Chain A
Amino acid sequence: MSETQFYSLRVNGKQREVTDAWLGESLLYVLRERLGLPGSKGACEQGECGSCTVIIDGAAVCSCLVLAASAVDTDITTIEGYSDGALTDVQQAFIDEGAVQCGFCTPGLIVAVHHLLEHTPRPSEMKVKEALSGNICRCTGYGRIFAAVTRVIEQRDHQ
């Protein structure tokens, strides 16, 4: 590949072409600035805040620490991939519990919560705290966020 060679990424099930991009760009940057997917947020660009969390081949990772051009031939799911308009149960629970204030951390948290509950449908309180320890919220405090997670677990149990 030369400096700006074309490559293609599989994002939310669709093959997306990236053209004229500098090869050193992070996946976060490419998603937001080149592919029109601004749901993933960038706050620290050093893996500390989790607001850029996406799923790559089944693992929740910080997209700011992924070299976009190295993510060719992987399955990438961003926050935009979780719904086609309607809110997911996790999103609705965040609203109902008042777990969103400025909303900057929210997309990363929603991705992390979906990922947690997919693998561990009934996590202990400790497990929830640990699973969300890479997602920093500076507004709401974590009480309402944990309450939203509890609400989803209970709702899914009753379904």
Chain B
Amino acid sequence: MSIHLPQTLNEALHMLQVVPHAQILAGGTDFMVEVNFNKHGVHDVIALRHVDELKKWSHDTVAGVVTIGAAVPYADMEHGELAQLFPALAEAARTVGSPQIRAAGTLGGNLGTCSPAGDALPVLFALNAVINVASTHATRSIPVADFMRGPKRNDLAQDELIVSVTIKTVAGWQGYAKVGTRNAMVISVASASLVLDHVNNSSRIALGSVGPTIIRCIQAEQWLQGVYDFTSHQALDDSIATEFGQRVSQESRPIDDHRSTALYRRHAVGVLAKRLLQRGSAQ
């Protein structure tokens, strides 16, 4: 058993290469719960705490691209410049756990765990985010929809580290909404993120907690494009919002579990989609 504290990204990648079956530790908010409850052991840990390169984000204003380091905590996404660039991500970040969890929990950890209930994930899907991973011998950039392979399964190889997430800025409204049993400290029962793209006159909606992975509702998006012009700034007809909600519901694939029923989830996610569209088109 060993604990490694790399200071740089290269050092971290090197350790990942030479320590077989190393475990990566970021904020620990998923990892340590498992350790404390003996769900998985601790053997050889590579802790990212001191790797400053992973805690930064940058904005290429010319290319319109933002790159967020894997170890940036939710607390940094809630307010400030990053929140202005991606309001949906800020809204999702604000719903995660509690201030203590948001100070520690990271985007890389949410992607590492890859739970269908992970709050950052529907937003990354709706924003068409790209996940940048690296090992000592190669780097890959994977669209988030290909990165998430199933419930708690991702495309990461044993010797790969999630380095950052790249997102293009979008001109248009975006938001995130979540249903749970209370406001703070709640894992979502159903969630949705909607992004309106005024340049391409299109929309993207992605759902959380209502399927084995995050679900993009391509058919509902295409239908909406045919009936509503996002650039017109015209009031949205109520019947369009309602039908959009129904269509989104139909594309969800929820199950019954300890948190809720499939029936409720299907209904709730439709209501969330309808409200997001109403909110977004009123801007």
Contacts and interface: CB of A to CB of B under 8 A. Distances in A.
B49 interface: yes
Interface string B1-33: 111010000000000000000000101110111
Nearest to A57: B49
Interface stretch (A33-41, A44-52, A81-89): A44-52
Contact of A70 (B49, B75, B101): B49
B178 to A, nearest CB: 15
A64 interface: yes
A105 B265 CA distance: 34
Nearest to B2: A1
Contact of A65 (B1, B5, B28, B183): B28
Contact of A50 (B25, B47, B98): B98
A26 B28 CA distance: 10
A62 interface: yes
Contact of A134 (B25, B27, B41, B184): B184
A46 B37 contact: yes
B240 interface: no
A61 interface: yes
A159 to B, nearest CB: 26
Contact of B1 (A3, A47, A60): A3
Interface in B157-204: 183-185
Contact of B3 (A26, A45, A62, A67): A67
A69 interface: yes
How many chain B residues sit at the interface, stated as a range, is 20 to 34
A140 interface: no
Nearest to A130: B99
B72 to A, nearest CB: 13
Contact of A46 (B27, B33, B47): B33
Interface in A65-105: 65-67, 69-74
B235 interface: no
B232 interface: no
Contact of B25 (A2, A46, A70): A70
A62 to B, nearest CB: 5
B100 A134 contact: yes
B236 interface: no
Interface of A: 1-3, 23-24, 26, 45-48, 50, 53, 59-62, 64-67, 69-74, 112, 130-131, 133-135
18 contacts: A2-B2, A24-B1, A45-B37, A46-B33, A47-B29, A47-B97, A50-B100, A59-B75, A60-B103, A65-B27, A65-B29, A65-B32, A66-B32, A67-B45, A70-B45, A130-B99, A134-B99, A134-B100
Given A65-B104, A67-B35, A69-B3, 6 more contacts: A65-B33, A66-B32, A67-B45, A73-B50, A74-B49, A133-B183
